[in-house]
Amino acid sequence: GSLVTPGKRVKTGQLWAGRPAQYMRDLKKEELEYIDWSSKHYARLAKEYRG
C-alpha cells in the first residue's frame, strides 16, 4: 500500500501511489463507478459466505 505522510490531504476521486504517496491523477467517472460496484459486490459475497 501507499504511505500517506503527515500533512498530505487526499481528496475524493484522486489516485495516489507510492511510498511516500504522490498524486497521480483524478479518477475517471467509470473508475469511480467500478470502485463503488466492487465494494458492494464484495460485501454481498461476504454476507453470502457467512450465511
What does the pLDDT read at residue 9?
94
What does the pLDDT read at residue 14?
98
What does the pLDDT read at residue 51?
82
Strand ranges, E, within the chain: 14-17, 22-26
Q: What CA–CA distance (Å, rounded) separates 40 from 21?
A: 26
Residue range 1-51, pLDDT digits in tens: 899 999 999 999 999 999 999 999 999 999 999 999 999 999 999 999 998
The answer to pTM > 0.75 is no
What does the pLDDT read at residue 17?
97
Q: Which of 3, 2, 23 is nearest to 13 (CA)?
A: 23
